[in-house]
Amino acid sequence: MLNKKIKSALVNCPILYFFAKKIYRSTKSLMNKSVENEALRRELLTLELDRPKQLKRFSPQASMIEITNACNLNCLMCNTKLSKRPVGYMSPEVFEEIIIQLQSIGINSADLHTVGEPFMHNHLNLLLEVAQRNSFGIGLSTNGQFPQRIRKTYYKFPKLATRFNFSIDGATRETYENIRRGASFKKLLESLEAVREINNGFRDFRVDVSITSILNLSNMFEIPQYFKTFSRYCRKQNINFNLINGLSLDDSYFKDTFPWKNIIHSTVPCHMPFRFVYFTYDGQATLCCRDYEGELIVGNLHNESLQDIWDSHNAETIRGMHMGTEEMKINSCASCFEPIPFVSMVVNKYIHRLYGHSPEMDPKEFGNSVACFLDEMDNAIRENDLPRLKTGIMERLELS
């Protein structure tokens, strides 16, 4: 009871809440660093290159909601404009139905993103009113081209719109606008400044901000500039780099900009159908986070409960395809490839460690260090030399 009263008092006093949160995060970060390193050491000891067998959870563990599949951009790694699925927008009624079903199985928050840009929805406020009325948490993932809508959304829903993730794939105007076709680097900075204004010039004062970048040869040689440009808006540890994958209607950009072929493998068996559920704008449940063409749709909440959909014959058939007990007939799954997830995670950790040690390193030298690390792992995997792979990772991350 006392803790609740203290938290309530802090929330009603933003300055005190900000500094209390800052002290808590700093303390937690120091405590977690050694714990994370030890967990990573243990994971390395049991690391195998084969994709693990997947086990179906009793019910979905998390969800994401596509409130629209409309996007203002046509980024090289997404190619959303190639999708043949009709463009549509989720109604408040469908949104509420999804929320109620998610809450019935213990899921009380979701990001409003799979395919499409959430701020393209002209009635986003109506959806957020539904979420607020149902005490349902939301996260907003955006390409950062809507500074005025970001402002208006926060000031209308200051207790709900508190998590923003910006997808940024270049730290310079030229690279960013080349990858994110149709985007304006100027608009992106305006959107980030809007959040900085909301946060009174601090980071994570009223809203938490994270930045995600898809890493490949197109932007690898400007990594230090990411931290220099964007740490003004969010904490450095919230700037994350994920290796590019082939989860697209056209994977040629992935193939052209990621030459480490031995690190790449098929996503089958994919973990998503066994752990998560996603929703298209018309209330259909799918087992893929980017189901461009609706190939993995397993049911509709208008007709049955979420738990029944999760346990349905359609869902089990898709899981069977991923387990190898059924013939794989889903084109998007059969053609989906990605770097080994463990590699993506350690590369992100290495980038942060390297920048922490050498923030003034020349960007080209920095990029070459990351590329060299990928070369080392690619060669070890090609030769199926697990001891060499593990040793190289431990040395790079200073875990030995």
Rounded to two decimals, what is the model's pTM?
0.90
Q: What is the DSSP string of 160-229?
A: T--EEEEE---SSHHHHHHHSTT--HHHHHHHHHHHHHHTTTSSSSSSEEEEEEEESTTTGGGHHHHHHH
Look at residue 53 in the predicted model and tell me its pLDDT. 84
The tokens of 201 are what? 């010039």
Q: Which residue shows structure tokens 């109604």? A: 91
Residues 6+ apart with CB under 8 A from 193: 147, 233
Look at residue 11 in the predicted model and tell me its pLDDT. 54
pLDDT tens digits, one per residue of 278-287: 999 999 999 9
Confidence of residue 40 (pLDDT cuts 50, 70, 90): confident
The residue count for the chain: 400
pLDDT tens digits, one per residue of 185-198: 999 999 999 999 99
The upper half-sphere exposure of residue 231, i.e. CA atoms within 13 Å in the direction of its Cβ, equals 13
Phi-psi region at 332: left, alpha or beta (left = phi > 0; alpha = psi -120 to 50): alpha
Is the separation of the CB atoms in 244 and 254 below 8 Å? yes
Is the separation of the CB atoms in 155 and 199 below 8 Å? no
Average confidence (pLDDT) over 62-84: 95
Residue ranges in 313-359 assigned as alpha helix (H): 313-323, 331-334, 341-357
The tokens of 382 are what? 């090609």
Geometric angle at alpha carbon 10, from 9 and 12, rounded to 5°: 70
Look at residue 1 in the predicted model and tell me its pLDDT. 45
pLDDT tens digits, one per residue of 100-143: 999 999 999 999 988 899 999 999 999 999 999 999 999 999 99
pLDDT exceeds cutoff 90 at 35: no
Lowest mean pLDDT among 10-14, 55-59, 135-139, 201-205: 10-14
The tokens of 243 are what? 């290796």
Rounded to 10°, the helix 341-357/386-396 angle is 30
